[in-house]
Structure 1
């Protein structure tokens, strides 16, 4: 028998008949008229080339073939109802799984602490895996399911096939060692460009501030280039270097080491921090829960700083 020739609705009818042994009761349960149910029963008999259910004085009795089929058909109908047609759900309190988050090291220090505190209460057995990817690889990681969410500044993901949600808008700050006598609280543009800069380019990529300065024709005197923002916590103290970093990094550095924030001699570009996910995950309950947590914890009003 070719499965393509079988109407699966007939299996629902068979299961009801095997349990109820009545055309009238079966019609009521599956929502068909008595005549439609009788017609469907005739098609079912044709498919299996067997009478299946025979009328007796009190009810419809199953044939040996029907008795043989009944357990298997019931399992199929139950599986379809409970596993295929069941609305997907996600229970964070009972879930045991790992979510992979694409974010640079700035995201690890700015976004994850609050999320972890929330997860400890809501999802104690859920794990997070934070990874950094080059800009070109972020889209591929989300598309292939290698990552569940990207959080941060990802302009390359603002395209078809990806959803996004704004978290907050931030900017840049210039910081130096608090004991750096060469750096006051303010610099002219000439002094800023001539200062000894340490520049952080995660994954070796150009960033928004680099493009902004290049468009202005301004070139800094770069003494050191790093791949990780948090390396500044050991580089800046005792040095005469200055670093222009996202405001969240300046805040974190100020909590770790003694730094001085220097007013920039220009208005820096704004950083639009968002979370991104591939359209495949739009209706996934687990991914939706993860997005809701990141949004609830990390969304900020305009002008608000990084939370403690």
Structure 2
């Protein structure tokens, strides 16, 4: 028998006949008229080359062949109903899924701890895999399913096939050590800003929005140190007279864990819009919908310092 010739609806009719032992009642059970059900039984007899059900008194009794088919057919029907046709859903309390997030090292410090706490409370079996990817690699990872979500500033993830939700605008501020000579009133004048030595973080493969803004305005700072990772700022700022201009969310983290002071920048620069991004292949995935709702609840706000 060639499986391509098998109509799965016939298996449903067979299962109904086993249950009801009547063409009329079996048809009613699966929504077929009496003629349509009779036609289905006829096709089943042809398919299996056996009468399958024969009239005995008031009922249609299964033949030996039908009895042999009863259990495997029932398993197939139940599998289709319970696993294939079941509406997609996600139970965070029972799930053991691993979500892969793309975010830069700032995001690891800003987003992961609150999200991890939310998972511990609502989805204790769920695990996180947090990775950093350049812009083009982030697009490929989301499109292929290697990652579920990207959180941060990804200006290339705006084409067809991608969805986004804005979380907040991240403006730039300055940080210096707490007892820095310029840390007095929470502001710094442009002349002092340009006279001080600066430490600049330039992560590989990431957009340098503030650097590009200064270049367009022709502003040249005295850059004493360049770093590849924002995490390295903490000991550098705390142990020197250098100044760094960073997004507000990073400045707040630095202030939380180190002896640093936040100063208003004398240079007005465009804020960085922070979004969560996902691919259309995951748009209706119940688990992905749940995860994005948690991210929006935890981090959706007007600005990074609100």
- TM-score, structure 2 length as denominator? 0.94
Deviation at 1:18, TM superposition (A): 1.4
Separation of aligned partners in 2, 1:86 and 1:287: 18
Deviation at 1:277, TM superposition (A): 1.1
User: Tell me, what secondary structure is at the counterpart of 2:90?
Assistant: coil
Correspondence 1:173 to 2:173: yes
Deviation at 1:53, TM superposition (A): 0.9
Deviation at 1:259, TM superposition (A): 2.1
Quickly say closer, same or farther: Cα 1:288–1:120, change in 2 above 3 A.
Answer: same
Could you give the per-residue CA deviations for residues 47-68 of structure 1, whole angstroms, max 9, x where no partner exists? 2222111112221011221111
Question: Does structure 2 conserve the Cα–Cα contact (< 8 Å) formed by 1:166 and 1:275?
Answer: yes
- Residue segments in structure 1 that go unaligned for 5+ positions in a row: none
Correspondence 1:24 to 2:24: yes
Farther-moved stretch of structure 1 (53-62 vs 196-205): 196-205
Could you give the per-residue CA deviations for residues 244-292 of structure 1, whole angstroms, max 9, x where no partner exists? 0000111111122222333322211111111111111111111111111
- Residue segments in structure 2 that go unaligned for 5+ positions in a row: none
Aligned to 1:225: 226
Q: How does 1:63-142 map to 2 (within 5 A)?
A: 63-142=63-142
Separation of aligned partners in 1, 2:206 and 2:154: 12
Question: Does structure 2 conserve the Cα–Cα contact (< 8 Å) formed by 1:95 and 1:125?
Answer: yes
User: Tell me, what secondary structure is at the counterpart of 2:160?
Assistant: coil
User: Tell me, what secondary structure is at the counterpart of 1:94?
Assistant: coil
Deviation at 1:79, TM superposition (A): 0.7
Q: How does 1:30-41 map to 2 (within 5 A)?
A: 30-41=30-41
Aligned to 2:242: 241
Separation of aligned partners in 1, 2:207 and 2:81: 52
4+ residue runs over 3 A deviation = 182-191
Deviation at 1:37, TM superposition (A): 0.8
Correspondence 1:274 to 2:282: no
Question: Does structure 2 conserve the Cα–Cα contact (< 8 Å) formed by 1:204 and 1:227?
Answer: no
Aligned to 2:255: 254
Query: Aligned residues, how many?
Result: 305
Could you give the per-residue CA deviations for residues 63-111 of structure 1, whole angstroms, max 9, x where no partner exists? 2211111111111111111110011221111122321211112112211
Question: Does structure 1 conserve the Cα–Cα contact (< 8 Å) formed by 2:95 and 2:123?
Answer: yes
Separation of aligned partners in 1, 2:260 and 2:100: 33
Separation of aligned partners in 1, 2:62 and 2:205: 73
Quickly say closer, same or farther: Cα 1:291–1:90, change in 2 above 3 A.
Answer: same
Farther-moved stretch of structure 1 (6-15 vs 39-48): 39-48
Aligned to 1:145: 145
Deviation at 1:118, TM superposition (A): 1.5
Could you give the per-residue CA deviations for residues 19-66 of structure 1, whole angstroms, max 9, x where no partner exists? 211111101101011111111211221222221111122210112211
Cα RMSD between the aligned structures?
1.8
